[in-house]
Each structure stands twice: as C-alpha cells, then as structure tokens.
Amino acid sequence: IQGAAGQPVLLDFYADWCVSCKEFERFTFADPQVVEQLKNTLLLQADVTANSDDDKALLKRFGLFGPPGVIFFGRDGKESGRVIGYEEPEKFLKSLQVLK
C-alpha cells in the first residue's frame, strides 16, 4: 500500500472456499461500471484460503473476522472505508465514492 504513490488502493480479502468472494468476482468486480470506476485504483488481493497463522494474523491486523472484506485506502495511504460481506454492483458503486 505504501508503494501506491498517491494512487487509491482497494485491498480485497479473498478465499477459494468463500461463496460471497466468488460472487464479488463474478458479478461485482466484473461489472463494467465497477471496472470503469476502479481503472485508476491499485487493486490488491489477499488470498486467505489456507487460513494459516499468517492469514489469521493478516485478518486480525485489519480487524476482519474473515472474507469477504474490501478495504479502501485513499491517495494519502490512510483507510477511507470498507465493505464487509458481499455487495451487488449498484451498492458497491456507492461504496466506491470513498476513493474519490
């Protein structure tokens, strides 16, 4: 996140066994309007599929119980918002307003 150089960042916590994560990928992140809104955003994905000690520590570091969780960071590198659980494209587009 520190290397984003003034760019907004979206950090997506994902797991292969997470049904809501797959819905995010299939419906929300693939939506043309969402893709357009994120074109100038650095997209990062934290794969916590293994649920290892490192995965658990990462989730804890960001105050998450588990995926899906999407955390937004502004151009200043500070957290500007988060989405916990699945959001359909229309609702997610409203959540993206924190990146502006």
Total number of domains in the chain: 1
Distance CA 72, CA 78 (A): 8
Structural domain that includes position 71: 2-99
User: How far, in Å, are 20, 26, 68 from residue 16 at the CA level?
Assistant: 10, 13, 11
- Which CATH number covers residue 6? 3.40.30.10
Q: What is the pTM of this model?
A: 0.90
Q: In this predicted model, what pLDDT tens digit does every residue of 35-86 receive, in sequence order?
A: 999 999 999 999 999 999 999 999 999 999 999 999 999 888 899 999 999 9
Looking at residue 60, its pLDDT comes to 96
